[in-house]
């Protein structure tokens, strides 16, 4: 359990006060859950709106995948950055939501809704994987509130799971955090993760948090990383996920791009 | 220090099943409470754990993540996880996150336990 200092007590007191107000107003008892509107509505398959600057493939029609549906070992990775006491958690998350793509490392594109991060949004991604290939995939905004938001991955993404971005009061002020709970989606990705993919992911999120810290006035803050293997077993019954592998499909789409462009030109 | 705003009481039903009555908020902060309940429930070699969410008042994505880690533990000990008492709202969240594919959802405790009996 994390240490809870003074500010934690203040926040809890506010929550208790809120609970009392809600109870007095009958909110929790009238069937309306307190988290109403923070979760995305249920979807079976993802719908995609075309966005500029990304290829936008390998997302439409895909199902969401959590750690239950993934193949590889299950990992929980936590990347944490202390911002100091000049910013509230709510202000940090509001900025992170509003400028989310700007903090990504160079060469990677996140094309989300212009309105920012809202439950139910689908963002399209082009990720630099080396060799001139862009891995085209996406993410779904599963949950969002004032102090956190969570992205969930579709079939074909490198991993099956979710990433929660949050901010909270620590001992010395506000800390921001990205926490990944994931399994590699299929055997090919599992090999890739073990052969340097985990390291690449660590660098990716450390660079992202560093960029966020720089933007929020904490340019020298160090990123703390904690990695836990939650489940060493692989789920072989999900090995067939490889059919949706967006890496393989992105390579094929890159090779076929000139032919596809020619066909489009001829047809219209 | 304020603790998590949740209680989890364990009831043993026969020697094969245990019910965990969850009341309050399910977030990442309540992991120690859930794991303690799990130890109590599984300590008597229960092969089926039934989570009663009838008292659930709030759940965020951290809470769903915590249920996934509970699931891993249960699978490791060859225990089945089931749930009941979910409102339509929370049932949809289980379906959205596809947690319902690993934690079977029932309408009531009798159904969840009847299934446990037939699984023995």
- For residues B47-56, average pLDDT: 95
Which residues does chain B have within 8 Å of residue A33's beta carbon, measured at their own beta carbons? 57-58, 87, 89-90
Residue B7 has pLDDT above 50, yes or no: yes
Percent residues over pLDDT 70 in chain A: 88
The answer to whether residue A6 sits within a structural domain is: no
Show residues of chain B in contact with A145, CB under 8 Å: 60
**What is the overall mean pLDDT for chain A?**
88
Neighbouring CB atoms inside 10 A of A259's CB total 9
Asked if the model's pLDDT at residue B21 lies above 80, the reply is: yes
Q: Does A90 reside within a domain?
A: yes
Give residue A13's pLDDT.
43
The 8-class DSSP code of residue A69 comes to: G
Task: Quote the pLDDT of residue A268.
Answer: 67
Alpha-carbon distance of A178 to A213, in angstroms, equals: 13
| Closest-CA residue of chain B to A16 | B5
Cross-chain Cβ contact B96/A69 below 8 Å: no
Domain carrying residue B30: 6-115
* Confidence (pTM): 0.87
Find the mean pLDDT for residues A232-245: 97
Cβ A35–B65 below 8 Å, yes or no? no
* A29 within a domain of the structure (yes/no): no
Taking an 8 Å cut-off on Cβ atoms, the answer to whether A68 and B68 are in contact is yes
Alpha helices in chain A (DSSP H): 6-25, 89-98, 187-192, 198-215, 246-267
Tell me the residues of chain B between 33 and 92 that have a Cβ less than 8 Å away from chain A: 57-62, 65, 68-69, 71-72, 75-76, 87, 89-90, 92
A74, part of any domain: yes
Please report whether residue A219 resides in a domain. yes
- What mean pLDDT is predicted for residues B9-36? 93
The yes-or-no verdict on residue A258 having pLDDT over 90 is no
pLDDT band per the 50, 70, 90 thresholds, residue A3: very low
Q: Mean pLDDT over residues A5-26, rounded? A: 41
Output the average pLDDT for chain B: 90
Residues A199-220, mean pLDDT to the nearest whole number: 96
Query: Is residue A221 a part of any domain in this protein?
Result: yes
Q: pLDDT at residue A9 above 50? A: no
Q: What is the pLDDT of residues A166-177, one digit of tens each?
A: 999 988 899 999
With an 8 Å Cβ cutoff, is B32 touching chain A?
yes
Nearest CB neighbour to B2, from listed A9, A41, A43: A9
pLDDT at A44: 95
- Residue B29 lies inside a defined structural domain of this protein: yes
CA distance A62 to chain B (A): 13
3-state secondary structure of A191: helix
Tell if the CB–CB gap between B95 and A28 is shorter than 8 Å.
no
pLDDT digits 0-9 by tens, B62-104: 999 999 999 999 999 889 999 999 999 999 999 999 999 999 9
Residues contacting B55, CB < 8 A, separation 6+: B21, B22, B23, B24, B85
- Please check whether residue A252 lies inside any domain of the structure: no
Q: Is B38 a residue whose pLDDT tops 60?
A: yes
CB contact under 8 A, B2 and A12: yes
A202 — pLDDT class (breaks 50, 70, 90): very high
Q: Domain of B64: which CATH number?
A: 3.30.750.24
CATH number of the domain encompassing residue A208: 3.30.530.20
pLDDT at A164 over 90: yes
For the CA atoms of chain B, what is the radius of gyration?
13
List, for residues A22-79, the tens digit of each pLDDT value: 443 334 556 678 898 999 999 999 999 888 888 889 999 999 999 999 999 999 999 9
Residue B5 touches chain A, beta carbons under 8 Å? yes
* % of chain B exceeding 70 in pLDDT: 92
SS3 label, residue B83: strand
* Domain contains B35: yes
pLDDT of residue B43: 61
Q: Measure in Å the smallest separation between the Cα of A13 and chain B Cα atoms.
A: 9
Number of domains in chain B: 1
Q: Kindly state whether residue A35 falls inside one of the protein's structural domains.
A: no
Give the rounded distance of the alpha carbon of A161 from its chain centre. Answer: 9
Closest CA to B116 of B88, B83, B77: B83
Does B87 contact A164 at a Cβ distance shorter than 8 Å? no
The domain in which residue A199 lies consists of 51-231
Q: Which residues of B touch A12 (CB under 8 A)?
A: 2
The structural domain count of chain A equals 1
Please, is A220 exposed, middle or buried when counting C-beta atoms within 10 Å of its C-beta (0-12, 13-18, 19+)?
exposed
Instruction: Name which of A8, A34, A42 is nearest B95 (Cβ-Cβ).
Output: A42
pLDDT in tens, A93-151: 999 999 999 999 999 999 998 778 999 999 999 998 877 788 999 999 999 999 999 99
Question: What are the start-end ranges of the H helices in B1-120?
Answer: 31-42, 61-76, 88-96, 109-119
Residue B120 counted as domain residue: no
């Amino acid at each position: 359990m994390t240490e809870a200092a003074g500010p934690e007590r203040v926040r809890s007191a506010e929550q208790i006060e809120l609970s009392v107000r809600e109870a007095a107003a009958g909110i929790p008892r009238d069937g309306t859950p307190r988290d109403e509107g923070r979760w995305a509505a249920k979807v079976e398959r993802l719908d995609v709106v075309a966005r500029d600057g990304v290829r936008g493939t390998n997302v439409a029609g895909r199902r969401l995948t959590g750690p239950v549906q993934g193949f590889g070992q299950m990992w929980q990775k936590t990347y944490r950055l202390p911002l100091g006491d000049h910013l509230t958690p709510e202000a940090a998350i509001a900025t992170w939501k509003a400028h989310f793509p700007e903090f990504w490392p160079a060469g990677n594109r996140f094309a989300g809704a212009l309105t920012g991060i809202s439950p139910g949004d689908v963002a399209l991604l082009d990720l630099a994987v080396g060799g001139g290939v862009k891995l085209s995939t996406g993410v779904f905004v599963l949950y969002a509130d004032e102090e956190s938001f969570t992205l969930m991955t579709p079939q074909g993404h490198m991993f099956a799971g979710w990433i929660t971005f949050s901010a909270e009061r620590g001992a010395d002020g506000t800390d921001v955090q990205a926490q990944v709970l994931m399994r590699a989606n299929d055997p090919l990705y599992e090999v890739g993760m073990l052969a340097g993919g985990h390291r690449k992911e660590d660098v990716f999120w450390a660079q992202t948090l560093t960029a966020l810290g720089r933007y929020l006035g904490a340019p020298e803050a160090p990123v703390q990383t904690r990695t836990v293997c939650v489940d060493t077993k692989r789920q072989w019954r999900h090995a067939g996920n490889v059919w949706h592998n967006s890496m393989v499909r992105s390579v094929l789409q890159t090779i076929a791009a000139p032919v596809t462009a020619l066909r489009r030109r001829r047809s219209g | 220090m304020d603790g998590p705003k949740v209680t989890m009481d364990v009831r043993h039903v026969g020697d094969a099943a245990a019910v965990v009555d969850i009341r309050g908020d399910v977030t990442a902060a309540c992991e120690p409470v859930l794991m303690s309940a799990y130890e109590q429930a599984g300590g008597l070699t229960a092969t089926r754990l039934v989570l009663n969410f009838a008292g659930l008042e709030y759940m965020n994505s951290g809470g769903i993540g915590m249920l996934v880690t509970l699931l891993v533990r249960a699978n490791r000990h060859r225990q089945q996880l089931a749930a009941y008492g979910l409102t339509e709202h929370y049932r949809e969240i289980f379906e959205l996150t596809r947690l319902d594919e690993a934690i079977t959802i029932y309408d009531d405790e009798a159904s969840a336990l009847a299934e446990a009996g037939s699984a023995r």
